[in-house]
Structures are given as structure tokens and as C-alpha cells.
A and B are shown apart, each in its own frame.
Chain A
Amino acid sequence: MRVLILAASVFAAMSPLAANAQSGSDASGGDLVKRGKYLAIAGDCSSCHAENFSGGEKIESPIGAIYAPNITPDEKTGIGDMTEAEFEGALRRGKSDTWLYPAMSYTHYTGLTDADVKALWAYFKQVKPVENDVPETDLGFPFVRPAMMGWNTLFLDKGHPPGAVDVSGDQLQRGRYLVETLEHCSSCHSPRGTLMQEDTSKHLAGGALNGWYAPNLTPSDKGGLGDWSEADIVAYLSKGRNAHAVAGGEMGLVVSRSTSKLSSDDLTAIAKYLKAVKPVDTQPEASGPDGQATLDLAALEVPNGDWQSVVGHDTTDGATLYQGACATCHGMNGQGTAAPALSKISDVSATNAANVVQVIAHGINMPNDARHVAMPGFQRTMSDAQIASVASYVRTNFGGVDGEVTQGSVANILSGKQQVSWIIANAAQLAWAAIAVAVLLVLALIGWAVMRTRRRA
């Protein structure tokens, strides 16, 4: 089965990517750097390598912390002594002087054109060198770097990002290049398979990321962006919000750092491409939130009692918590005032409660140039049980979602722990068991041979 998928994607990879190669090829030095800078923004390099590219950002992966290296041209701690060939290898083949972990999106950047690799190289050679010695990543046995050779054999499809769809026409191909190669959307928005590879059968159909749900981006009417127009997609990527959603968490930062800085032509190309990928149905959003909580103000606003009741704050009544913490901006009935109407936010009516819980807990901080969006988080002043009550209240009353959020699920979501396959979770034991079996087999063979020799004798 795996071989089939590989074969299919190799076939797809043979389709002309060359259409994207023309831009930048005739660029002079300054233009090349300028182009490299744009590509670094579109590739969102700073999401892991920090704003000044000096690295050190800790990437929490389900198998341990991975530290993004310093990619400034610093001689001692950066890429000052790297060759262009090694740089190209890191980007497109996951190997410079050693093997990279696929937290670096080389399975996507493998689609980069030669010209764009050159532009990126020109750009990174001239960013300000910063001395920053980044900790060595240590994931422990069996996730040692050479093991990535095997992983790459299975999952790195040179020249072709996973799941990319064959499209024709310059605009769609540009859209594909942006979505699949540079912005590497599916690294978060596709579910992962047994060995943490992207599940290309559900390409862009939504994935889990450190306790957040990266939604289904396919044009499905059931759970996807079927009801988003191209203009909606462009608005979201440029401003971080539209009539359906507000970008929070990691996506809020992606918008601030990367998509809000793309040209409108590129954003339109992305929107067109996302409309062209195969729709994959997931769990649909609730259809019709009535959007109105039945408020009994007389019951809610009881004159304050004794000092203990004034000081006490352990209530888990969703309505009380909502009125105290949320209603000032989102309105008594979730109708929105300074902040969006909750019934219009897709995450509120989503089946998956992860993002509602995350936003209640951590708020939103999206320092977008156009308009900074900020919502305070409540994890410091509410217990998991209280966050669960608010989430349930909001989802039930404004999202029309049937399904209580429990204290346990809040704890689970906020822990950020990602589900991994049984094989990954037990990789060390399995690897040792495999070695033990091999040793036993060898011993058995020797024993058998000895017996046979003796019998013969």
C-alpha cells in the first residue's frame, strides 16, 4: 500500500514544477536577496528559527523537544561554515552534514525550485550574524539521526511535497507552490500516520497540533472550508479574521509573521488552490446555532451576599462565568460587541472543542500590522473545571453543539500532548525487542547448525 502511494506521488512529481522556476532566475544580487527575504517569509522560517533566525526555539514534538538551529551566518554557532550544497540538502533532502528531523519541513521544501534555493541562500548569507549556541536535540534511542535515512526512504518524495495535487495553469500552480512547498500548510492541517508521516489520503483535512485542532482546509461542505469564498480565505490570511473565524494560537502567529505579508496575487493563488484540492469530509460544524442563551438575569445578578461569597470564585456555573469573563466583549447573548459574535465563529460550532478551550485558556494575541487582535486568556484565573463550563456554555448556546466539555478533556487539551501511534509510543521497546529477536534468531541458527554438524558427526 505504502509503495503504491509512493509510486503515485512519484508519478505526480514528474508533472512540471518548472512553471514556478521562471521568477527570480534573472535576478541580480539585490533582487535575489529581496526575493529570498520574501521566500523566507512565505516559508515562515522564523516560526521555528526565531525572528532574527538565531534559532533555539524549542519545538515540542510528541517524541521530545527539537531545537531549531541558528541559521544566521555566524561562523561559530550558525551556518557561516555551511556550503550552498549543504544548504540545498537541508532544504530539499533533509540532510546537510547530518540528517535533519522532519520537524524541519524538508518534505515540503523539497519542492523548492533551484532559483528559489539560490535566492534563500543569498538572503540567509547576508542576514545579521547572531551568536547563539542552540542546545543539541536529543530524542533518545531509537530516534537517532541516521534512523531518518529509513524514514526518508519511506516518506521523502524528492521534488514533490506530500499530497500536492496536480493542477494546471500558472495561478493554480503558484497556489500549489505556496500551499504545499513554502507555507507547508499540510504539516499541521493533515492528520499523521503511524510513523508520523502526513496521511496523504486525508490531505489538508485537519490535524492535531499541541492541543490545538488545525482545521480541515479542503473545500468540503462537511467540516471543510466549503462555505468560505476565495475572498474569505484571502481576508483570513491577510487580516487574521473574516466572517467565519479569527486566527488564534499558532495560526495567529502564522498570519502575523507570514501570510499577512504575502502579495495579494499570492493570497488569491492560495485561495484558488485550496478550492481545487480534493474535498475530504470530516465532522461537520453544527448547523444552526440559535445563537441566543436563555438568560434569567434575575437569577444571574443576585445582589452580593456576605464577604465569603464576594471573595469566593470557585463557581462552575457556565452562565455566571461567561457573564463575568466574556460578556463584556462578546455580549450577554454572544451577539458580539467589540469582539466577534460567537455564533459566527467556526471554532465555536466545531465538533472538536480543542480550539475553543485553547482560546479561553490562552486568549489570542495576533500582532498583525493591519490590526492587532488581542483577547485575554483565563487559564491563570479559572480552573480546568471552570474553563470546561465556559466552553460547554459557549458551544451549547452559541455554537449549537451538543456535547459537554469535561474537566478531564480540558486538562488533556491544555497538556498539549499529542496522540501518537502505538509504534511510535513504544518505539524504544520495539526496537530493543527487534534486536533481541534478531540475536535469538542468530543464536538459534548457530545452535541448529551445531546440532546438525554433531548429528552428522
Chain B
Amino acid sequence: MADFDADVIVVGSGSLGGLAAQQIAQAGHSVIVLEAGPDIPDWKITENWRNSPRKNNFNDPFGDVPYAPNSFTPGYVDPHLTGGLDVFPGTLRVLGGTSRHWTAATWRLLPEDMAMHSTYGIAEDWPISYDDLEPFYTQAEYEIGVNGQKGFDESGLGKGETYPPRSKPYPLPPEAKPYATQRLQQQVASMGFRVDIAPSSRLSQPYDNRPACIGNNICNWNCPIGAKHSGYHVVQKIRDLGVEIRTQAIVDKIETGDKGKITALSYINPEGDRTRLTAKMFVIAAHGYETPKLLLMNDLANSSDMVGRRLMIHPTIDMTWLSPEPYWTGRGQNIHGAIMQRRALPDRDKVPSTRYDLLNAPPEEGIAQGLLKDGTLGPELDAKIRDHSARVFTAEALTEDLPDPANRIKVNSSWKDAVGLPGIKLTYKLSDYTKANLPRLMEDYARFLQATGGTRVSAPEKFICQQHVMGTTVMGSKAEEAVCDADLRCFDHENLFLVTTGVMPTAGGVNPTLTGMALAIRAGQTIAKEL
């Protein structure tokens, strides 16, 4: 130990970095976790959220920290978006990471999602199969507490059995189906749609010292009672394991030695003081933006020229409508229902995998803005906000995008943060493949309206995207084509591991976080074994 500051240094304290650190520390090795952002407790975030006039900005309660800018910091991300897209995924730098404000959707990929080339003849296969990852999916689910339906066929194909196959059932029973999803189910069933309960890490029962969800309905911003998993919970657990956590530690330099081995890294604090640390192994777990940015800044791991490329963001198109009858959305969890029938259709080589989420976030702000725009004022405004809030429904179609090396993030040296570090240049073009989905999406949305007798409030016209970043430090089986291997080890640096959803070669049609967690646990165990 005297030769190194720690066995392993992990850059990034989010859910993924935390879970990897946990595996390593549980095996008895010393770990230091470095976090660029500050430590802000959940109770303060709750206060900040209440006192924020910018409720649609998930990052606002965490502050626009000048030494750890986030995706809402003006200029930090310089977007070059084409093809009809004008938003890009967000990120946050704070102790516990971006999962401090996630929705907690915990989907598994399907076996075919990881074998796109052999199944559908497009994109490519992962270097590992679903069966390889399955035990780690299970471990992740039991670690963070996931609820879901028994016997759920997540492909939407009506297989009549649990799919993808699982070695253990969900650790927790599903959330209750709220009235809105029950009613919608009745209305759309005859059209071949089925409303399922999305698996999530919002506890349906107390689990691991966390209370069960009581329906505060502000999941996306910050669960005020800790019923929803957050990277902050992992931080507390790894602290108990003896992991040293340093906040406001902004890593910018990584040193290499013989045969590309990483020898040390160093960070500055907000005052600019520098600290250098050595370790046997290094993990970069700094989100799909910061991980490639840090590698590019240090010209590392890039013999394949794939660092920062193949960016995938899950293009999404949503529709809000008013039905003649009340649905009472805006109670319980932010997203509780999902329609899976478009996830794994055989024509996936031409039309992307799609999942409809039924949103359940507090709708009043959007409704009020729309009414004000129309000039509604006074008591009529109040009455209409109440009326519309009861009858409103929003569905969003999350769609799979394919890896394209031209979609990428680069270091933007023309922008500097408060400590002199560069920003990010993001380039993304909405593909013809994504747009090939539009006829089917429009048809489905028209059927939702027909089934519910609703009228559109916002038309499904423009693609937005999810807060998901994939592909930017891709894993693969060949050093010429990928940044890291199936164990997340860099081809160019045998003691450098990348723990981020950026390693995903393809995006699937579901939220990537649980997959990232499973990969993080797997990588953590690999590292622990090798030490």
C-alpha cells in the first residue's frame, strides 16, 4: 500500500462509479472516489426545488456551480444539432451523480437488443451476450431495490412468459396501477395495446432502510424521502465500507507509463490547488460526456479513434391530449405505465424499437403556460388549470437510435469554466432511420386519440431526446474498432476501466441506467479479482 495512494481510484461518484467502488471495497481493497461537484444533502435539494422558480430545469436545485458546470450552464455544451432536433441530453455534477434526479426507470435490455447485427442485420453485436450480463442485472436490481410485474414479457410480443429470462424474480412487487393507466388500458385494449407497469427503483415496499414511495410525484427532481434509488444512497454505503470520497476534486490530468499503463492522475480543487494520486487501477465513471472528454483531453484510449463518437441519445416524440373524462394523472410516480408492443418488431432493420411511456408528472405548469399564452386570465384561468389537470394525458415515444461515428462529442477549447477547463462540443444528426418511425408513431397517436376521444394539446411533431448518453466510449471485441473490451478495460491501457453507459455499443429502446449498473458491478468484480 505504501507504494500507492489507493488500490483503485474511481473518477465520478454517480450510481455507476459508486457501485463499481462498492464491489472493489467489499472485496477488501482500498478505494478513493473523486467527485468534481459538491456534496449537497437531499433535504437541501428538496428545499431548493421548492424555492426554484425554474421547475422544468432538473439541475436548478443543484446550483450552477462554476467549477463543475452542468448541461444547463450556458455555453458548457455547444450543440450542433441537425435533422430537426434542438435539444440534447442533460448531465449534472454533484456527489451521487445525475441519478440524483432520475425517474428511476430500470429496464433490462432484451437478448436481441445486444445482438442487433445477428438478429436484424443492422448495427452490431455486443462483445457479451444477455446471458453473460444477466447475473449482474439481478445483482443490480437487488442492490438498488427494483419493483416489477411477475411474468412480464418486456418485448411486447406476447410471448406469454417472462422475457427477457431472469434468474430471480424482481425483489419487490409492482407499484399499484393507478386509475389513469387502468382506464387507458380499457380504452386501448381493443386496438391491441397493453398498458404495463414499468419496472422502477421507486420502492413499493420499504427496502434496505429506505421507506416505500408515498406518491410525492416529484420523482424526476429529487425524491424527498429517499424511496427512489439515487447515487447518493450508494455514496453513503461505500463510505461505511471505508471508501474515501473527495468532493470538489476536478480530475483533469492522467499520466501514463510503460506500455500505456496509467501511473497517476491529478485533480484541482476550486481554488486551483493540485493533488496527484497513484493507484494500481483506475476507473473513469464520469458519465457519457465527461468520460470521453477526460480521455480526449489527455489523448488516451483513442487508438481506434472512437472516443466520443457513436453518440446515441434516444430520440423521443411526445403528445399531450385532453380527454373528455378525468384521468387524474399527476399522482403517484412520474412514469408508471408503458406500452411495449413496438419494442421488438421484426422490421427493426427499417423502423426503430419504440416504447410508449405514459407520463404522470405534475402537469399544472405546462397547462398554465399554454392557457396564459392563449390569453386566459383571472378565475377562468384557475378553473381551467383545475379542469385540464384532471383530464390531461401525455405519452412519449422513446425510440432507439443507431450508432453513427459522425454523432459525437469533442472537447470545446474555446469555452472555459471557472477553473480553466474546456467545454463540450456536441454534434448529432437525426437519422433517416429515426424518421422512418414517424408514420407508425403518428398512426399510434391517432389511435390513442380515437380510443380516448381526446383532442390534442401538443401535436407530436418534433423529436426531443432522453437524458441518456450512450456509445461515446464504445466496448467491442477488436482494439481497432472500440475503446474498451467486454470487461470495460481500455484496449490501450490495461489498468484503466470505463464505467459509463457510454460503453454501450447499441442503445436498445429502453432507459440504459440498469444496464450501466450491471456493467459497473461486473467491472468492479473483475477489478477486485485482479488486485
Contact = CB atoms under 8 A, between A and B. Distances in A.
B216 A328 contact: yes
B40 A311 contact: yes
Nearest to B233: A376
Nearest to A314: B44
Interface in A317-342: 320-321, 323-325, 328-329, 337-338
Contacts of B212: 372, 374
Contacts of A301: 50-51
Contacts of B66: 307
Nearest to B209: A365
| Chain B interface, >50% SS class | loop
Contact of B210 (A304, A323, A374): A374
A351 B52 CA distance: 38
Interface stretch (A43-51, A95-103, A377-385): A377-385
Nearest to B94: A311
A310 interface: yes
A62 interface: no
Contacts of A80: none
A307 B62 CA distance: 8
Contact of B209 (A310, A323, A374): A374
Contacts of B209: 363, 365, 374, 376
Given A337-B214, A372-B205, A375-B211, A323 B47 contact: yes
A380 B47 contact: no
Contact of A304 (B46, B48, B65): B48
B226 interface: yes
A76 interface: no
Contact of B224 (A303, A328, A374, A380): A328
A20 B62 CA distance: 63
A382 B41 contact: yes
B42 interface: yes
Interface in B12-58: 38, 40-44, 46-48, 50-53
- Max count, chain B CB within 10 A of own CB: residue among A311, A373, A378, A380: A311
Contacts of B53: 303
A321 B65 CA distance: 22
B225 interface: yes
B78 to A, nearest CB: 21
Contacts of A310: 40, 48, 61-63
Contacts of B61: 304, 310
B206 interface: yes
Nearest to A328: B224
Contacts of B62: 310-311
B43 A378 contact: yes
B51 A302 contact: yes
A128 interface: no
A116 to B, nearest CB: 35
A217 B225 CA distance: 32
A358 to B, nearest CB: 15
Interface string B207-239: 001111010100000001110000000001001
B153 interface: no
A382 B211 CA distance: 19
- Max count, chain B CB within 10 A of own CB: residue among A310, A375, A376: A310
Interface in A363-407: 363, 365, 367, 372-376, 378, 380-382
B90 to A, nearest CB: 17
Nearest to B47: A324
Contacts, number: 77
> What interface size band does chain B fall in?
20 to 34
A315 to B, nearest CB: 9
Contacts of A363: 209
Contacts of B211: 329, 374-376
A324 B44 contact: yes
A318 to B, nearest CB: 13
B97 to A, nearest CB: 16
Nearest to A373: B206
A376 B44 contact: no
Contact of B42 (A308, A372, A381): A381
Contacts of B225: 328-329, 376
Contact of A372 (B38, B47, B206): B206
A373 B205 CA distance: 9
B60 interface: yes
A329 B210 CA distance: 13
A365 B65 CA distance: 35
Contacts of A324: 43-44, 46-47
A240 B62 CA distance: 37
A374 B43 CA distance: 17
Contacts of B52: 303-304
A4 B297 CA distance: 84
Nearest to A375: B211
- Max count, chain B CB within 10 A of own CB: residue among A301, A325, A329: A325
Contacts of A328: 46, 214, 216, 224-225
Contacts of B224: 328
B244 interface: no
B64 interface: yes
B57 to A, nearest CB: 11
A313 B40 contact: yes
B206 A381 contact: no
B244 to A, nearest CB: 15
- Max count, chain B CB within 10 A of own CB: residue among A301, A313, A329, A372: A313
Contacts of A325: 43, 46
A452 B27 CA distance: 75
Given A337-B214, A374-B212, A376-B211, A304 B60 contact: yes
Interface in A225-265: none
B211 to A, nearest CB: 4
A328 B239 CA distance: 26
A297 to B, nearest CB: 10
Interface in A112-167: none
B113 to A, nearest CB: 35
Contacts of B48: 304, 310
Contacts of A365: 206, 209
Contacts of A303: 51-53
Contacts of B210: 374, 376
B64 A307 contact: yes
Given A313-B40, A324-B47, 10 more contacts: A303-B51, A304-B60, A304-B61, A308-B63, A311-B62, A324-B43, A325-B43, A328-B225, A329-B225, A372-B205
7 contacts: A304-B60, A313-B40, A323-B47, A338-B214, A363-B209, A365-B209, A373-B206
Q: Which 9 A-B pairs have the closest CB atoms?
A: A381-B41, A310-B63, A374-B206, A325-B43, A338-B214, A324-B43, A324-B47, A307-B63, A328-B224
